Structure 1
Amino acid sequence: MYKKRLIHFKPIIVLGSALFLWLLLPFVVKSFLKTSFYEFQAPVSLASSYVRDLQDFWSARTKSKNDLFEAGQSLARLNAAYQLAALENQSLEDEISRLENLLQLPSRPEYQYEVARVVERDFNAWWQRITIRKGRDYGIPVGAPVVFIGGVVGRVREVHAYTSVVDIISSNHLRLAVVIEGDNRPLSYRGGGSTSFAQPVGIAEFIPVDIQVSETENRPVLITSGMGGVYPAGLRVGEIRRLRQGAGGMFYDGEVELDKRLASITEVAVMILIPPEQ
């Protein structure tokens, strides 16, 4: 009778023993096992990503010539617009360099943009992150800012041999130094997490009480301030859509609406800081 009762508790005893042995392992061994397991299963995610790209390629091959002609015209218009924007950007950079030399100001940090495809997304109550298809093989550093056409995506959290994990700006683990566009008073931003079937949001803190928010139009836009040395100034974060009284009563907290494209993003750019010339 006693043995039969013991059999029912056998899975619990085995699990408890395994957890106890795991706790006794040194930290170095745990880190090695974690990294080894990730690198072992990483090729599966990479293979599925390449298969999706192949599917997209063959689905594009099935389109009619008229569709391809219209797509080519759209790309030609976009290329022309980007060429004009590049010329304007170059002229602005030249003017900035001239003013820096004239006023003897320190040069701004320069970045190399490493474009990477998104392998998988992990959006739930615990994690708000994506995995990209570049890692140590492309020199991706931990802590590097990640952007896309709509502004800030997040920050590199982990770097592996061929992939990197990025915490996106809706993650509770991420904080940014921000300002309201057109206002230089410093604010703090943190990810607000996400619930199932809801759009990810962020929280802006220490908003001055003279800031007003409209529910429909002319909402304040948050941009990075450049403080902290991670993100350059001027990158778009989101729009403040609602205010509430802060904990201390002297400032507001604001709910920040993030770019909706973050949930379906397929390609990002990692900003790698270029060391200044000695």
Structure 2
Amino acid sequence: MVGPSFQPEPGPVFRWALWLLGALALAVLSMFLSEKGALDPLRALTLRASAPVSLALREASLDLGALVDGFARRNELASENEALRQELERLRAELARREDASQRLAELERLLQLKSSRPQDGLVGARVLAAEMGPLRQAVAIDRGSDDGLREGMIVLSEGGSLVGTIARLYPDHAWVTLVTDPRSAVNVSVQTGQGDARGVVTGRVGLPPSLELVPREAGIEDGDLVVTSGLGGKYPPGLLVGVARSVRAHPQNPFVQAQVEPSAPLSRLRTVLVLTTFTPTDLGAP
């Protein structure tokens, strides 16, 4: 009885040699077919089949390159814009400093001219620190106080010499000035008309321009007439410019004209003022 026969499996060397021979044979066959032109249709078909894929890949690579370039350019533009914005901000700040210095110089020149035109008066320059321009209170704070020799009731003038108001509250290093437009303000005035001077009173009003009151109808005041302090009452020296008469109306039934006063001092834009220190207000008692 013959037992089963066993055939040995080919070893790795044999398999490798067989694969090498197959590859060599395939290469030789490919060269032979290529020389005969037998592979041209297959090569053309392969090129046609792969052409859309190659074109898509090329376009995708171009789009990706453009996208990367776009991001890089956008970052570059953002950096340039930020640099330009910072430079613009610096130039604006420099321009503001120069304009402020120029305005300050002009203010000081006007104050010097005013002081020169009033050599008999003691004047202390002050800068405006704050403003309260509500309907019930019209006042500004200045950077001078009792330590600078100021007292309550002192007269405050604009850099052009027009009446601003009086010192109402005093502190060591600053003071609050009640403006002529404040509802609690009342100034005895003289209106310089074409027929002579006419006396009256300028009073502040809530939310409205100051009112010119108690001027007789026969005084003949007109729009544009100058309004100055009369000196009556002892609180203001005579001759300080208050403003000009506006909206003058006369009614036959009213013995006094109705008018408004446009202040000459730029009360809403005050930066620098002068305190008149040589005039002492007088509080007159009842007759």
CA 1:178–1:131 in structure 2 vs 1: closer, same or farther (change >3 Å)?
Answer: same
Size of the aligned set, in residue pairs, is 184
Does the CA contact (< 8 Å) of 2:115 and 2:123 recur in 1? no
Equivalent residue for 1:202? 210
Identical aligned residues as a percent: 23
Matches within 5 A, 1:1-278: 62-63=94-95, 86=116, 89=117, 111-148=121-158, 149=160, 151-181=162-192, 183-194=196-207, 201-210=209-218, 211-214=220-223, 219-245=224-250, 249-259=254-264, 261-273=266-278
Q: How far 1:246 sits from its partner (Å)?
A: 7.6
CA 1:84–1:247 in structure 2 vs 1: closer, same or farther (change >3 Å)?
Answer: closer
Q: How far 1:111 sits from its partner (Å)?
A: 3.5
The one-character-per-residue Cα deviations of 1:23-44 (angstroms, maximum 9, x if unpaired) are xxxxxxxxxxxxxxxxxxxxxx
CA 1:59–1:203 in structure 2 vs 1: closer, same or farther (change >3 Å)?
Answer: farther
Q: Distance in 1 between matches of 2:91 and 2:171?
A: 31
Q: How far 1:63 sits from its partner (Å)?
A: 4.2
Does the CA contact (< 8 Å) of 2:229 and 2:238 recur in 1? yes
Q: Secondary structure at the match of 2:122?
A: strand
Amino acid at match of 2:94: T
Q: Distance in 1 between matches of 2:209 and 2:230?
A: 19
Q: Secondary structure at the match of 2:123?
A: strand
Q: Secondary structure at the match of 1:173?
A: coil
Q: Is there any run of 5+ residues in structure 2 with no aligned partner, and where?
A: 1-89, 281-287
Q: How far 1:123 sits from its partner (Å)?
A: 0.6
Q: Distance in 2 between matches of 1:240 and 1:59?
A: 44
Q: Stretches of 4+ moved more than 2 A in 1?
A: 58-64, 82-86, 181-185, 243-248
Does the CA contact (< 8 Å) of 1:132 and 1:163 recur in 2? yes
Q: Distance in 2 between matches of 1:179 and 1:236?
A: 10
CA 1:208–1:229 in structure 2 vs 1: closer, same or farther (change >3 Å)?
Answer: same
TM-score where L is the length of structure 2: 0.54
Does the CA contact (< 8 Å) of 1:205 and 1:246 recur in 2? no
Asked which structure has the greater CA Rg, the reply is: 2
- Indicate the larger mover: 161-170 or 240-249: 240-249
Q: Secondary structure at the match of 1:223?
A: strand
Does the CA contact (< 8 Å) of 1:142 and 1:158 recur in 2? yes
Does the CA contact (< 8 Å) of 1:156 and 1:166 recur in 2? yes
Q: Distance in 2 between matches of 1:181 and 1:59?
A: 49
Q: Distance in 2 between matches of 1:114 and 1:175?
A: 24
Q: How far 1:151 sits from its partner (Å)?
A: 0.4
TM-score where L is the length of structure 1: 0.56
CA 1:251–1:163 in structure 2 vs 1: closer, same or farther (change >3 Å)?
Answer: same
Q: Distance in 1 between matches of 2:143 and 2:115?
A: 28
Q: Is there any run of 5+ residues in structure 1 with no aligned partner, and where?
A: 1-57, 94-109, 195-199
Amino acid at match of 1:255: Q
Does the CA contact (< 8 Å) of 1:150 and 1:259 recur in 2? no
CA 1:138–1:188 in structure 2 vs 1: closer, same or farther (change >3 Å)?
Answer: same
